[in-house]
């Protein structure tokens, strides 16, 4: 039995593109959980937080209905449901509180190579197949394009060859699916990534403080993803040039080197990817013994 007052419920995708990333994110935040085989709930052992593994389409509804406090899912689903709920008169079903920088994809039109359709403006009087009818409908309305939206729950890309639609509007990640179905990608109408949504309702102070801790840890995890700790020896005269070369770094720590008055040790955290080119440039600027190390945790 789940204790609703004191334990946070987080809904995540049961099996799909976001599942592994989302579980990994929670684990990097320190969560340890037990989950029986085929069980749809993961019970947090060291945090008052339980994971519900569900279909991604169901996540916004679970948060809206206050069955879950938080949900992690694609912005594409969040926006589709937001518009669907708005049509039902529910205006504030949840709020997006974090963008997670994984699960990137776009919702884009696609036109069969064999057709004369090339852009959304050509769709007047045509049928568009999509799994995102609310978003597509709203877009067509705004652009004043009188096209008919045909809802497909999956396999949208085969709708034109089945004669069920003239064009599609579907998620594109690598572009392989559209290409394989001889469909040319057109206008993007939504850029998506994984996000966290939260119930708009107030939650108990106890849970709220854990939600805040979790968010702070998530921010830390996201910051360290690209971060590196860099150490090197450098001539004192090269210090300003070296700071300039290091991407996204704060003020470096400069330490004296035993028995050397013209050289110092420089330690710095870089928050952006450190490329080989950067290291070569550092060397050219006079740095030696350059070490690059991953950062495991960071608390700003």
168 part of the interface to ligand PRP, by CB under 6 A: no
Strands 70-74 and 41-44: unpaired
How many other CB atoms sit within 10 Å of the CB of residue 176? 9
Nearer to ligand PRP, 171 or 197 (CB): 171
Q: Considering the complex, what minimum distance in angstroms separates the CB of residue 176 from ligand PRP?
A: 4
Stretch near ligand PRP under the rule CB under 6 A, chosen from 132-140, 141-149, 165-173, 192-200: 165-173
Residue 130, both tokens: 């999509």
Q: How far apart are CA 168 and CA 155, in angstroms?
A: 10
Q: Distance (Å, rounded) from C-alpha 86 to C-alpha 121?
A: 26
Dist CA 268 CA 266 (whole Å): 7
Q: Of 36, 89, 154, 259, which lies in the binding site for ligand PRP, with binding defined by CB under 6 A?
A: 154
Nearest-angstrom CA–CA distance, 99 and 120:
28
CB 71 within 8 A of CB 196: yes
Strand 148-151 relative to strand 127-130: parallel, antiparallel, unpaired?
A: parallel
Nearest to 156 by CA among 119, 174, 181, 139: 181
Whole-number minimum distance, CB 171 to ligand PRP, in Å? Answer: 4
The C-alpha atoms of residue 112 and residue 117 are separated, in whole angstroms, by 8
Stretch that binds ligand PRP, among 30-38, 169-177, 208-216, 242-250 (CB under 6 A): 169-177
C-beta closer to ligand PRP: residue 13 or 227: 13
Choice between 111 and 210, CB closer to ligand PRP: 111
Stretch that binds ligand PRP, among 95-103, 161-169, 172-180, 187-195 (CB under 6 A): 172-180
Q: Are residues 186 and 109 in contact, defined by beta-carbon separation less than 8 angstroms?
A: yes
Nearest distance from C-beta of residue 168 to ligand PRP, angstroms: 9
| Pairing of β 148-151 and β 228-235 | unpaired
Per the listing, tokens 């035993």 go with: 258
If binding is defined by CB under 6 A, does position 19 make contact with ligand PRP?
Answer: no
Q: Pick from 135, 171, 189, 245: which binds ligand PRP (CB under 6 A)?
A: 171
CB of 155 to ligand PRP, least distance (A): 7
Residues 6+ apart with CB under 8 A from 196: 70, 71, 72, 96, 97, 98, 100, 215, 218
How many residues form the binding site for ligand PRP (CB under 6 A)? 11
Closest CB to ligand PRP among residues 131, 199: 131
Q: Between residue 177 and residue 196, which ones bind ligand PRP under the rule CB under 6 A?
A: 177
Q: Which stretch binds ligand PRP (CB under 6 A): 43-51, 164-172, 229-237, 258-266?
A: 164-172
Residue placing its CB nearer to ligand PRP in the complex, 171 or 203: 171
Asked if residue 80 binds ligand PRP (CB under 6 A), the reply is no
Is 173 near ligand PRP (CB under 6 A)? yes
Binding stretches for ligand PRP (CB under 6 A):
17, 154, 157, 170-177
């Amino acid at each position: 039995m789940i204790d609703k007052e004191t334990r946070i419920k987080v809904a995540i995708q049961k099996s799909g593109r976001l599942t592994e990333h989302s579980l990994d994110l929670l684990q990097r935040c320190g969560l340890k959980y037990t989950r029986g085989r085929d069980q749809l709930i993961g019970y947090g052992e060291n945090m008052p937080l339980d994971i519900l593994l569900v279909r991604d389409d169901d996540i916004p509804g679970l948060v809206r209905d206050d069955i879950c406090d938080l949900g992690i899912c694609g912005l594409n689903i969040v926006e589709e449901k937001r518009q669907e709920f708005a049509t039902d008169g529910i205006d504030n079903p949840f709020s997006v509180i974090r963008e997670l920088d994984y699960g990137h994809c776009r919702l884009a039109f696609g036109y069969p190579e064999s057709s004369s359709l090339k852009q959304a403006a050509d769709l007047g009087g045509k049928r568009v197949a999509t799994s995102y009818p609310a978003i597509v409908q709203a877009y067509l309305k705004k652009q004043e394009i009188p096209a008919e939206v045909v809802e497909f729950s999956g396999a949208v890309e085969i709708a034109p060859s089945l004669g069920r639609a003239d064009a599609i509007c579907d998620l594109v990640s690598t572009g392989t699916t559209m290409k394989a179905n001889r469909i040319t990608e057109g206008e993007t109408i939504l850029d998506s990534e994984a996000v966290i949504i939260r119930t708009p309702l107030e939650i108990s102070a106890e849970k709220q403080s854990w939600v805040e801790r979790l968010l702070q840890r998530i921010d830390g995890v996201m910051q360290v993803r690209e971060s590196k700790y860099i150490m090197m020896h450098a001539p004192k005269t090269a210090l300003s040039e070296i700071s300039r070369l290091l991407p996204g770094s704060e003020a470096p720590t400069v330490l004296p080197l035993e028995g050397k008055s013209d050289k110092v040790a420089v330690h710095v955290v870089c928050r952006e990817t450190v490329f080989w080119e950067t290291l070569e440039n550092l060397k050219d600027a006079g740095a030696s013994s350059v070490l690059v190390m991953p950062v495991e945790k960071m608390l700003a």
